[in-house]
């Protein structure tokens, strides 16, 4: 069978492990205004759950973990790239922790870096090590428009209006993302079904108004599957 260029790139990415150099996370352009807004949501969703212990899978520049430590949260980090100095080196597909080890597992903008066929296993692992909740974020490329209106005596009205395309665009592996919500073959419902199949109840999901590309999920362990 002839191996296509796309297959060659994906196979190579699998073998290499980390897709980017550590310096990628520490460039000025990486920490854009939009990303800082996303950091706020990452932190706020965790703090709202008032956890006693947190596992962050994929640490990036460590900003979120460092802030949570400053707030007195007992946080443990794991990443596949030892050069980022996580507490543990390992993959979301096979984490070296016992079941129910952490009250909350956080995994932000990471799962899209795995081929989609690995998503069920990664969600199962997150469910396995979580004691109560998981907070995830994933890229959502579904077309959306922002509505922001100031109404006298009422206040500000902010809405995201999604306009899915009749023919979702095909996702091409770009060296980092294997898939994204809203691309052909990856509708939101399919991803949510994967989460439920892993044993999670979806408490809420939303897109960040200022950064619609980032969609958050707050998941709770289904008591029947805990």
Q: How far is CA 82 from CA 59, 75, 90, in A?
A: 11, 17, 9
Name the phi and psi angles at 53, rounded to 5: -150, 145
Query: So what's the pLDDT on residue 42?
Result: 97
pLDDT score of 144 = 92
| CATH number of 183's domain | 3.40.50.150
Q: Which contiguous run of DSSP H or E holds residue 182? A: none
Q: Residue 223's pLDDT is what?
A: 65
Per-10-residue mean pLDDT, the chain, length 226? 42 59 78 91 97 96 95 96 95 96 97 97 98 98 91 86 90 94 97 98 96 97 66
Distances (CA, A) of 151 to 89, 147, 154, 155, 161: 51, 12, 5, 5, 18
Q: Which residues of 143-158 are buried (b: 16+ CB within 10 A; e: fewer)?
A: ebeeeeeeeeeeeeee
What per-residue confidence (pLDDT) applies to 226? 55
**pLDDT confidence of residue 9:** 42
Whole domain around residue 162: which residue ranges? 5-225
Domain count, the chain: 1
Neighbours of 21 (CB within 10 A): 10
Q: What is the pLDDT of residue 184?
A: 96
Query: What pLDDT score was predicted for residue 90?
Result: 95
pLDDT of residue 28: 78
**What's the rounded Cα separation, in Å, for the pair 128 and 221?**
9
C-alpha 80, offset from chain centre: 15
């Amino acid at each position: 069978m002839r191996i296509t260029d796309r297959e060659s790139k994906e196979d190579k990415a699998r073998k290499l492990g980390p897709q980017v150099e550590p310096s990628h996370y520490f460039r000025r352009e990486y920490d854009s205004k939009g990303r800082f807004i996303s950091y706020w949501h990452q932190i706020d969703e965790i703090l709202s759950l008032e956890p006693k212990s947190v596992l962050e899978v994929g640490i990036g520049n460590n900003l979120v973990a460092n802030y949570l430590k400053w707030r007195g949260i007992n946080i443990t980090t794991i990443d596949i790239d030892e050069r980022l100095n996580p507490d543990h080196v390992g993959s979301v597909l096979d984490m070296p922790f016992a079941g129910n080890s952490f009250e909350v597992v956080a995994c932000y903008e990471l799962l899209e870096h795995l081929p989609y066929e690995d998503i069920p296993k990664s969600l199962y692992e997150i469910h396995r090590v979580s004691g109560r909740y998981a907070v995830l974020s994933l890229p959502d490329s579904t077309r959306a428009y922002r509505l922001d209106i100031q109404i006298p005596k009422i206040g500000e009205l902010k809405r995201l209006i999604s306009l899915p395309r009749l023919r979702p665009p095909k996702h091409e592996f770009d060296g980092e993302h294997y898939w994204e919500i809203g691309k052909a073959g990856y509708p939101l419902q399919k991803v949510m079904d994967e989460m439920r199949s892993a044993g999670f109840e979806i408490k809420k999901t939303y897109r960040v108004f200022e950064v619609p590309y980032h969609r958050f999920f707050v998941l709770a362990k289904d008591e029947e599957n805990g």
